[in-house]
Each structure stands twice: as structure tokens, then as C-alpha cells.
């Protein structure tokens, strides 16, 4: 049985680092990631279609499919949402330089092929323990669409955020035979 590696990474991820990551690897990620769910994705895609300036830099960015909750000025919970719902948005964002996404669950063949085409990565994190995941968030700020409340885009500063490579840059994924 092949040993599963645990790799410490910092953002922004480099192309070289991404090429070395393999499906099933565990990652402890430190640095900046952005949250975005369905409504924020729709707004981003509309801006792209209208050739308008985006409210965040997508080049080398990581988007976490998450709508955090807040308690006494801190992140109260920040668990992943189902990634499959975001699959129709992935290509325009990767065309703008998005490197990785974080969520939960299987992706469509279209999303897997898009990740492979743009040499990106798809991470999953632990579902059902959103309060636990908030322990890895050291700071946050709102970046865009405050009117969306929890579904606004937030920049999270994370430290050793626990992830698993679900789809690597070669299109291998943990949900099918490797």
C-alpha cells in the first residue's frame, strides 16, 4: 500500500508545487484563501462576461466553497459546501488565473477536465466539523459583495488548514480508480 504524504504548503501556490501534488496527498495550507459560494460566483461570472474589473485578484488564488458564520467578531464556523454546484463557474475563473478550489464531494467530469486543462488542483476538507475548521483561521476580512452577508467573499488567513488532494493537476481523483 502506498504511503499517504502530508505536505505543508504556503500560498500562493507555484506551478512547480502543484505539479508535485498527487491525489490522496494530505496538505496543511497556510496563507490567504477566498471564500465564495453560489451567489458570489454568479456575480464574479457576470463581471467577467461584462469585461469589468474583479474585486479580487484571481491569479494564483484559491477559492474555498464556504459561507462562514461569525460569533463575537470571530469566525464561528467555516465548513465546506458541496463543490458540484460550482462546476459551471470553474472555467471562466481558471481562465483568469484561479489555481485551486476547496470544497467537499465529487466534481463533474467537466470540472475535473477543466482542472487538468488549467493545471490546477481541487482540495477537499472535512465536512461536518465547521467549528473545528475555524480553529485554523487566524484572521479574515471582507473583500467583495458585503450585501451577500455570509455568502460575501472573505479573505481568510489560515494556518495549517487541513486538506486532501481530491483532483490533482493530472486529472487523477480520489473518487475514481487512480
Active site residues: 41
Residue 152 carries which DSSP code?
S
C-alpha cell at 31: 496563507
Phi-psi region of 73 (alpha: psi -120 to 50; beta: other; left: phi over 0): left
- Inter-CA distances, 35 with 16, 29, 97, 105, 177, Å: 24, 15, 16, 17, 30
Least Cα distance to 30 among 129, 156, 128 occurs for: 156
What residue has cell string 490522496?
24
Amino acid at each position: 500500500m502506498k504511503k499517504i504524504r502530508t505536505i505543508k504548503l504556503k500560498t500562493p501556490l507555484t506551478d512547480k508545487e502543484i505539479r508535485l501534488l498527487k491525489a490522496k496527498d494530505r496538505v496543511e495550507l497556510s496563507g490567504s484563501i477566498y471564500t465564495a459560494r453560489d451567489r458570489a460566483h454568479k456575480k464574479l461570472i457576470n463581471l467577467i462576461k461584462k469585461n469589468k474589473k474583479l474585486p479580487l485578484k484571481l491569479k494564483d488564488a484559491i477559492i474555498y466553497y464556504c459561507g462562514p458564520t461569525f460569533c463575537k467578531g470571530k469566525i464561528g464556523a467555516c465548513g465546506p459546501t458541496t463543490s458540484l454546484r460550482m462546476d459551471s463557474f470553474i472555467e471562466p475563473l481558471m481562465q483568469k488565473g484561479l489555481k485551486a478550489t476547496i470544497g467537499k464531494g465529487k466534481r463533474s467530469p467537466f470540472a475535473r477536465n477543466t482542472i487538468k486543462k488549467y493545471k490546477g488542483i481541487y482540495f477537499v476538507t472535512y465536512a461536518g466539523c465547521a467549528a473545528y475548521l475555524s480553529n485554523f483561521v487566524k484572521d479574515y476580512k471582507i473583500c467583495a459583495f458585503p450585501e451577500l452577508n455570509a455568502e460575501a467573499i472573505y479573505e481568510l488567513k489560515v494556518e495549517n488548514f487541513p486538506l486532501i488532494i481530491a483532483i490533482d493537476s493530472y486529472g487523477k481523483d480520489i473518487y475514481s480508480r487512480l
